[in-house]
Amino acid sequence: MSRLDKFADGRWLGWLAALGLFLLSRPYPGIYHDGRLYVADALAKLDPGGVGRDLMFVHDGQFGFSLYTPILARLIAVLGPSAATMAIVALTLALWFAAAALMVERLLADRPPALRWAALVFVVSLPSLYGPLNVIGFGEPYATPRGLVEAAGLAGMAAYLSGRPRLGLGLCVVGMLFHPIMGLCSVAAIGAALCLEDRRWLWAGLTGVAVVAVAGLAHLPIADRLVTIMDPAWRAVVETRSPILFPSLWPLEAWSLLSVQICTAAAGVFLLQGAPRRLVLGALIAGLVGVAAAAILGERLSLILFLQIQSWRTLQPVAVLALACLALLVAELPRRGPAGLLGTSLIGLAWLFRDVGELSLLAAPLGLLLVAMDGKSRFTHPRLYMGLALGLLAVGAIGYAGLAGAGLANKLARAGRYSEGIVWFSDLPALAIAVVIGVWLALGRPTPPVMARIVGAGAVCVLAILLWDDRSDYIRARDRGRDQGLVAMTAARPGPVLWLVGDMESWLLLGRPNWSARVQGAGVVFSRPMALEIRDRAERLTNLGLAGEDFIRPLTAPERRLPPPSLAQVRIFCAASDAPAWIIWPRWEDAPPLAAELAARDWTPEAPFTRDQVDRGALRALKASRYAVIPCAGD
């Protein structure tokens, strides 16, 4: 066998192809999503007299529990915000992929290499969202500690599957130094698996729970939140800003996604043995207990600690393992007759239409039931039922592809540029991967020729390198940091800035606190003073018409276009004793001019700013090549 053949038949080529797909499915969007919070906290640590005076950091209730932002702050000091953020995201994704590959290898160690590779591809390239409102996923390309902690958890699962449970738990504990909440997810999954294996672990766990409960009753620091009830005023703000913490506020689609992932993982239990089976069962138990704790102890009883730890996040290991189990189902069930094929098809349909609601809530449990009945049911016309299963799946896939394709074309047209993130968010690439690999697994086709594998892996990796940086020109310029022209323009009036229709700009471009921004509300559950102050400021803005309902309900209200600030609005707002120094507003290209009395100055960013907003009942892409810099309070 030649060296080329040995390389193609080894693990490295498959891992290289999977890594390319992983990077394609996680294009880098810049400082985005929750990464904005951690980058801003790092900036606050570097500039306590500037960004550090933002109310989000004055009333910090969460960043002090993580080693992540001190490390990120040092990187930013050396490399600048843009390069430092990109570097830490790339490192996080590399560690996450390595840990996922190791976990899948151990989970399916008794299966053929082709199936292990397919399971890895499913894990790294199929939809990764879990929980409510499509807010959070695993392996995210954002500058947050979640990815690092997930990597530690996946490595911990691999250690457990290798017969080294203490090492596995130790790795999870290391991850908790960066994000205690996410670290608990893998601890819970591994811990539940150990309890299934040996009841002594169960008694040890119950003893630990009792110790923590006693610490809470003794009102020791942090533990006292176990018995402290969130007051109604604070809770009202948290419900409005973070409905993801309250299961009764979850939309039907959230329960549909939960049903799909739970049923897929549960179906995989029927095909697994030993430690892999116990791990999947443990993850299922931990996930369901986490949701129950969030509903009863968090929402029902309003206990602060259970609201803050967001125990529903224990669904994360379930979401990862469900995709690995999906590959296992596709490879093995269709060969077991009509029940297996019908079960696989129904679970596949549930994945396709997981955002439709009732359809997946019905299809996924029915598919699980058929998997459980495999070998116990008899079909009088097996070929008819098998044909029906394949037909349903084919029609569903074609119909979904048509709908997703139309939505993708519309989004790309609004964006005005090719965006890898928009393409992958459409689920079309994931659907193509699932169909191609699924058919290959189900039919048991031979491995493609050596040259085809090498060329395919090379092409995927080249595309990943070329397309991974998905930032727009505006985001690239913004992420570099302070704009000296804007800093000079606003130097006469120190203090906070109200940057309308923006989030990171005040922190990055000016090095100043935000007077109010939607992004500030992400941590309201961790600080009562911050929650009430954010509520009051948002209400003042919305009552004056300077902000929309999305400022108060960022996860549930659409962002609507508002008219330019008027002279009367600005005068009333800026008359307050705590008014910001400046108001900065994007001059949309089709917007009327501002009143001359506002004395607005013009600032031109390096690239135009674009934003999707609801305008006249439809979602439109608005564009601004200039900003109005309006003096508000100060000298």
pLDDT of residue 624: 95
pLDDT of residue 62: 77
Same domain, 213 and 244: yes
Same domain, 360 and 451: yes
| Interatomic CA distance for residues 317 and 92, integer angstroms | 17
- How confident is residue 177, by pLDDT bands cut at 50, 70 and 90? very high
Mean pLDDT for all residues in the chain: 92
pLDDT in tens, 214-245: 888 887 787 778 889 999 999 999 999 999 99
Same domain, 436 and 555: no
Same domain, 280 and 347: yes
In-domain check, residue 39:
no
Dihedrals phi, psi of 130, to nearest 5 degrees: -150, 160
- How confident is residue 2, by pLDDT bands cut at 50, 70 and 90? low
**Domain span including residue 556:** 482-631
Residue 65 DSSP one-character state: G
Contact at 8 Å (CB) between 473 and 606?
A: yes
Same domain, 565 and 424: no
In-domain check, residue 120:
yes
pLDDT at residue 137 tops 90: yes
In-domain check, residue 75:
no
pLDDT top residue among 81 and 209: 81
Same domain, 120 and 264: yes
In-domain check, residue 273:
yes
pLDDT of residue 7: 62
Instruction: Give Cα 187 to chain centroid, integer Å.
Output: 20
pLDDT in tens, 254-284: 999 999 999 999 999 999 999 999 999 999 9
Same domain, 544 and 411: no
Domain boundary residue, one of 425, 442, 467: 467
In-domain check, residue 65:
no
Same domain, 419 and 509: no
Q: What number is the average pLDDT over the span 103-132? A: 96
Residue 632 DSSP one-character state: -
| Interatomic CA distance for residues 123 and 321, integer angstroms | 8
Residue 213 DSSP one-character state: H
How many CB atoms are located within 10 Å of the residue 50 CB? 18
**CA angle, residues 342, 347, 349, in degrees to nearest 5:** 95
pLDDT in tens, 581-628: 999 999 999 998 898 899 999 999 999 999 999 998 899 999 999 999
Residue 109 DSSP one-character state: T
pLDDT at residue 521 tops 60: yes
Tell me the CB-side half-sphere exposure of residue 632, using CA atoms within 13 A. 27
Same domain, 594 and 625: yes
Contact at 8 Å (CB) between 336 and 280?
A: no
pLDDT in tens, 29-82: 999 999 999 999 999 999 999 999 999 998 887 787 889 999 999 999 999 999
In-domain check, residue 474:
no
Q: What number is the average pLDDT over the span 334-353? A: 88
Query: What's at 216, amino acid-wise?
Result: G
pLDDT at residue 182 tops 70: yes
**CA angle, residues 479, 483, 489, in degrees to nearest 5:** 150
Non-local (6+) Cβ contacts of 578 within 8 A are none
pLDDT at residue 4 tops 70: no
Nearest to 563 by CA among 622, 606, 603: 622
Same domain, 491 and 427: no
Tokens of 222: 């942090």
In-domain check, residue 271:
yes
pLDDT in tens, 440-456: 888 887 888 878 888 88
Answer positive or negative: Cα dihedral of 151, 127, 71, 61: negative
Strands (E), 533-581: none
Nearest to 306 by CA among 187, 223, 192: 223
How many CB atoms are located within 10 Å of the residue 276 CB? 26
Pairing of strands 582-588, 136-137: unpaired
The count of domains in the chain is 2
pLDDT in tens, 566-576: 999 999 999 99
pLDDT at residue 122 tops 90: yes
Tokens of 235: 């809770």
Contact at 8 Å (CB) between 40 and 51?
A: yes
Nearest to 121 by CA among 352, 433, 451, 468: 433
Give 460-508 as a DSSP string: HHHHHHHHSB---HHHHHHHT---HHHHHHTTTS-S-EEESS-SSHIII
pLDDT at residue 6 tops 70: no
Dihedrals phi, psi of 546, to nearest 5 degrees: -85, -15
- How confident is residue 160, by pLDDT bands cut at 50, 70 and 90? very high
In-domain check, residue 379:
yes
pLDDT of residue 528: 93
Same domain, 524 and 428: no
Same domain, 459 and 488: no
pLDDT at residue 140 tops 70: yes
| Interatomic CA distance for residues 243 and 549, integer angstroms | 15
Pairing of strands 129-130, 136-137: antiparallel
Query: What's at 99, amino acid-wise?
Result: A
Domain boundary residue, one of 412, 439, 467: 467
pLDDT in tens, 373-426: 876 666 666 677 677 878 888 888 999 999 999 999 999 999 889 999 999 999
Nearest to 504 by CA among 57, 42, 76, 39: 39
Nearest to 319 by CA among 176, 143, 165, 186: 186
| Interatomic CA distance for residues 95 and 444, integer angstroms | 32
